[in-house]
A = this chain, B = another copy of it.
Amino acid sequence: MKTFTIIGTGLIGGSVARDIRKTGTDAHLIGVEQNADHAARALELQLVDAVLPLSEAVAQADVVLLAIPVTAIQQLLPQLLDLVPPQAVVIDFGSTKSLLCEAVKDHPKRAQFVAAHPIAGTENSGPEAALEGLYQGKMNIICEKEKSSEFALEVALELFDLLGLKTVFMQAEEHDKHVAYISHLSHVSSFLLGLTVLDVEKDEKNIFMLAGSGFASTVRLAKSSPDMWAPIFEQNAFFLSHALEEYIKHLQKFQECLQQKDTAQLYEMMRQANQIRPVLDGITQGASAK
């Protein structure tokens, strides 16, 4: 029987627990959870069999999964590798990778660690947000695989297979740069669309009355947890700031055309943006995102 220690029993860690349970894998699931309400809820929902203090939970583990905010991963990871038994494998599910890899690059147990990022989630958080099948068919990025031992990679890939993830490999900096544009910028655009509309429409009844499915879809990510996202933005500030600059430039160009009544140019920009359709259709067909 394998023991999985899941640090952080919210949306990300809790969903992994649900899938391990579902597949009937003979597993003992231990949670580590600072938030007492979340700990109680994770036990009630039977996401984990026990909630234990970190050192005790790690001492028993075959696999340790880090599913906490990325700044917390960065701080905890070196100490965790110090604690971890020689045959255990540590996997993180953080949305940034450079600083996490940097934090343990000279650690004597670096080979026991696999840096991963499954591209999956929802706008909800906490143990109650945990979903069976959250990872099914989604993409997963492993960074700096050459620094993980073959054994650690095997153990990690076994878990990723169980979750239904499709894994590709990338260097950490390359990963952070691309996710800044494709994932993190989407979140910023949505957070600030929500904030702008709330700031301007003091009477929320108007939002209620005039919002259609388009607004709901575009602003969905504005409901995401700041506890999870503030650390991601902080860690990926360099690339995200570049992405934001590009986005703002595009918006300013659009605004200029609008003010100059240059509808032909507006039309052309929208026509080009339409090219996202075949790319997204490819994504849907490839089932990397739903």
Contact = CB atoms under 8 A, between A and B. Distances in A.
A86 interface: no
A156 to B, nearest CB: 18
Contacts of A216: 280, 283-284, 289-290
This chain: copies in complex: 2
Interface string A164-189: 00001000000000110111011111
A37 to B, nearest CB: 18
A25 to B, nearest CB: 25
Interface residues of A, number: 95
A23 interface: no
A210 B259 contact: no
For the residues of A in contact with B, the DSSP-based class is: helix
Contact of A196 (B120, B181, B193, B201): B181
Contact of A193 (B185, B231, B290): B185
Interface in A207-245: 207-224, 226, 229-231, 233-234, 237, 240-241, 243-245
Contacts of A213: 120-122, 289-290
Contact of A119 (B138, B211, B288): B211
B258 A244 contact: yes
A1 interface: no
A246 B274 CA distance: 25
A267 to B, nearest CB: 4
A266 B225 CA distance: 12
Interface string A148-162: 000000000000000
Contacts of A248: 248, 251-252, 255
A267 B255 CA distance: 28
Contacts of A275: 194, 198
Contact of A233 (B240, B266, B283): B266
A250 interface: yes
Contacts of A288: 208-209, 211-212
Contact of A189 (B123, B179, B218): B218
A198 B237 contact: no
Nearest to A268: B226
B215 A183 contact: yes
Given A138-B212, A179-B210, A280 B186 contact: no
Given A200-B246, A275-B198, A219 B179 contact: no
Closest 6 CB pairs of A and B: A226-B270, A194-B276, A194-B273, A119-B212, A186-B218, A195-B273
11 contacts: A186-B218, A190-B218, A192-B269, A195-B250, A195-B272, A198-B272, A213-B289, A217-B217, A230-B266, A234-B258, A237-B261
